[in-house]
Amino acid sequence: MASSRICSIPECCKPVRARGWCNGHWIRWSRYGDPQAGQRPRSASFEYLHETVLSYEDKDGCLLWPHSTRTDGYPVTSIDGQRMAVHRYVCEKEHGPPPSPHHDAAHSCGKGHLACVNRHHLSWKTRSENFADKLIHGTDNRGEKNGYSKATEEQARQILALRGKMTRQQIAEKVGVTRSIVAHIHCGNSWRWLQ
């Protein structure tokens, strides 16, 4: 059943989700600690994009997007009524359309996840070229950096070193992980670059 109470923020008439705020104000509070943080007129991001980002001349320093971002930190805006990744839009304005639909707008600075939109830092790269850059910048999420990882790099190295010397169950008991983790590492489903 929908709440009959309305958001306590002045001029907001949406139903309450939590703490006396609507869903939008509650999300702003959870992200920024202020239910009214991050609110800007929708046209402000479009103006900033065209007046500041596309004419930015500093080739070295990052230009950070002060408006909406995705949960992974990459900037987004609305262009012609469609939500679009700002770095792809800027890259297309600077270098033309991508060579293929599979090309990424890659950041030479390695700070795309921090909302860098400096046009001088962007170029079209294949997914593998972009991933190679992430390894150089240290922004990849493989191994222990991946939130789903169930083993440390040291454990993965031990598991690989013991392959063929013990059963998977014995390795799992020795290293302190489950047998399925050992199997995934032996099969190359995880920690593949160590093999």
Contact 181, 150 (CB under 8 A): yes
> According to the model, what pLDDT value does residue 63 have?
94
Packing angle between helix 153-161 and helix 179-186, nearest 10 degrees?
Answer: 70
pLDDT along the chain (195 residues), means of 10: 73 83 83 73 77 92 91 85 89 94 90 92 89 73 67 84 91 89 83 71
CATH number for 88: 3.90.75
What is the Cα–Cα distance from 180 to 178, expressed in whole angstroms? 5
Query: How many domains is the chain partitioned into structurally?
Result: 3
Q: Identify whether residues 61 and 130 lie together within a single domain.
A: yes
> According to the model, what pLDDT value does residue 97 have?
95
Q: Identify whether residues 123 and 77 lie together within a single domain.
A: yes
Q: Identify whether residues 115 and 157 lie together within a single domain.
A: no
Write the DSSP assignment of 81-132 as a string of letters: TEEEEHHHHHHHHHH-S-SSTT-EEEETTS-GGGTB--GGGEEEE-HHHHHH
Which residue, 87, 74, 86, 58, is CA-closest to 115?
A: 74
Q: Identify whether residues 1 and 52 lie together within a single domain.
A: no
What is the Cα–Cα distance from 77 to 69, expressed in whole angstroms? 8
Q: Identify whether residues 177 and 124 lie together within a single domain.
A: no
> According to the model, what pLDDT value does residue 52 have?
92
Q: What is the pTM of this model?
A: 0.56
What is the greatest pairwise CA distance in the chain? 70
What's the domain range around 34? 1-39
Q: Identify whether residues 111 and 99 lie together within a single domain.
A: yes
Contact 182, 189 (CB under 8 A): no
Q: Identify whether residues 109 and 163 lie together within a single domain.
A: no
